[in-house]
Structure 1
């Protein structure tokens, strides 16, 4: 039984191996079509459950930033029909989903003070989509559940004492040793993808650093970074600063090509 489970797990991993835009090896077990369907369904549910901002000026401003970013995406994504919705929500948040969906909360407009800072957040969220992070997270969860179930079967077959305690320990180990660091790696990768994307669109890359400085100023106490799904603001700022020289070069090339957004 253990040999069969191991062989099945190896087959799943090998068939799902891909490379992210930054060169990181990733496992995506689900088709892009399936992920798009999930994203579209989730977005439709959100629109039913949350109030939508009706102010035309706000919607035009957010759409302007989105359009400039989308124009710089890889062709398969740039050619999608992207839907951009501003939700009435006080949280400083935004998100993007497979299937060409972008949501921005009105609370984010209080923290992202200009088009460059908002482009940093939106670029980051779109970065999650083009790096297929949602697929990776769903796949990771499936493999974790498979692994825990396989461990449970092995422990039952071996009649090992304290099986429940061991399984509980395995669950905690999976959470802090795999799931959370994996999510932080996604966030850091999306930061870099978003930084490059906003620069290619002609936005000021420095806006990404300013945005996270603003976020740090309004954030309350955070859990230790090793227990958080997101890197600490200071870590993100350092990561972004490391890519700033390259990003500014991309911005200059964008300006020379006539890409200089004026979203207001």
Structure 2
């Protein structure tokens, strides 16, 4: 922000005596301080940190993680699991080669966590949990995750969000301070990273429909948890549908196991986006860049507000329907299965009904979901069958604290 104010001061000093061409160059300098040209779309996006600063700050965070792993005696990379590490490197290299940052030297890191997770911090590391590697048996699915994470840095999501938050604070935006808004802002970044990552997969010779298979599986296992919290990622069912649509769109660029020979030009112009020509500094490019930055930030702000409202409206719908459901009976046909019968008193016809079960076991909260087949009508009874989480038996469930909830439902259109 200090750099921005200094640039404005310099522009103000020049404006009284310089030509329009020089003023436009000054405007471009101001725009360059507070934004960067989006590598994907070519449009301006808000960012107070240049690429060198992004790398320094992003890498510092990861290097602190690695230092802590070493201090606590945990192995990383090949020392942790040689086959999985070399698999990670092999798939990463193919995706990175077709990315917008292929000119940078990146390093994939494998750490000892059993969770389904991977992340980047805006620098040149990608950190992947061993649990994710073990759960994704298919290299096409691993490529989708790696492409998604590289895309976060390509689109500058880490520093874009920080810059947007600073501007919102200065502007006094009340909505931007709300947790639901912040979650929605991240939600839209996740959708963009999915689109970019799926294109990378196709260009690198990996199945672009693999991402949709991941989220279809996660939906079966986890449901959507619509009313439990604000979502900073698309819910599984929506993510499966959208990634399938994107995968189909870019499928013509895909040849199994082969890098698309036109990948460089397709990064600029493809079925998902088209990069337009930008005017040069001194030729209207400065004004264009400054106005583009402001307009882009405004659009992102409005999209986040709209997404926050959409999520809240659906969460309210789910909570209202939940009050009309009554558990009538439950039974356990075997040690790992719980059958339940419910009555839906009144309301619209429902589809894609998912009932959730939260189980408290010590300090852990475990979750199971049951997908209800077909439509549910007012006044009807329906069955919901749960497969209990690993480590929980039906007999043990009787002595544990459990709570049923409506995970999701949609009105029949």
Same fold by TM-score, threshold 0.5 exceeded?
yes
1:29 to 48, 51, 67: 48
What's the offset of the Cα at 1:240? 1.2
Q: How does 1:107-126 map to 2 (within 5 A)?
A: 107-126=131-150
Q: Deviations over 1:86-127 (max 9, x none)?
A: 111011000123331011101112332210111111100000
Classify the secondary structure of the residue corresponding to 2:104. coil
- Quick check: which has more Rg, 1 or 2? 2
Classify the secondary structure of the residue corresponding to 2:234. coil
Classify the secondary structure of the residue corresponding to 1:238. helix
1:144 and 2:168 equivalent?
Answer: yes
Taking structure 1 as the reference length, what is the TM-score of the superposition? 0.76
Count of aligned residue pairs for this structure pair = 228
Paired residues of 1:87 and 1:105 also in contact (CA < 8 A) = yes
Q: How does 1:42-61 map to 2 (within 5 A)?
A: 42-50=61-69, 51=74, 52-53=76-77, 54=79, 55-61=81-87
Paired residues of 2:215 and 2:240 also in contact (CA < 8 A) = yes
Q: Return closer, same or farther for 1:239/1:257 CA change in 2, 3 Å cut-off.
A: closer
1:193 and 2:207 equivalent?
Answer: no
1:251 to 226, 251, 254: 254
Q: How does 1:157-168 map to 2 (within 5 A)?
A: none
Q: When you count helix as a share of all residues, which structure comes out higher? A: 1
Structure 2, unmatched stretches of 5+, are 9-26, 263-413
What's the offset of the Cα at 1:60? 0.4
Paired residues of 1:192 and 1:240 also in contact (CA < 8 A) = yes
Q: Return closer, same or farther for 1:185/1:38 CA change in 2, 3 Å cut-off.
A: same
Structure 1, unmatched stretches of 5+, are 152-169, 260-264
Q: Return closer, same or farther for 1:48/1:214 CA change in 2, 3 Å cut-off.
A: farther
Q: Return closer, same or farther for 1:65/1:84 CA change in 2, 3 Å cut-off.
A: same
1:183 and 2:186 equivalent?
Answer: yes
What is the match of residue 309 of structure 2? none
1:66 to 92, 102, 108: 92
What's the offset of the Cα at 1:15? 5.0
Paired residues of 1:88 and 1:105 also in contact (CA < 8 A) = yes
Classify the secondary structure of the residue corresponding to 2:98. coil
Q: When you count strand as a share of all residues, which structure comes out higher? A: 2
1:83 and 2:107 equivalent?
Answer: yes
Classify the secondary structure of the residue corresponding to 2:87. helix
What's the offset of the Cα at 1:137? 1.2
Structure 1 residues 28-37 or 13-22, which shifts more? 13-22
Question: Highest relative contact order (Cα 8 Å, sep 6+), 1 or 2?
Answer: 1
Q: Return closer, same or farther for 1:14/1:43 CA change in 2, 3 Å cut-off.
A: closer
Considering only aligned residues, what root-mean-square deviation do their CA atoms show, in Å?
3.0
Q: Deviations over 1:191-213 (max 9, x none)?
A: 00000001100001121111112
Q: Return closer, same or farther for 1:248/1:173 CA change in 2, 3 Å cut-off.
A: closer
* Alignment partners' CA distance in 1, 2:110 and 2:226: 29
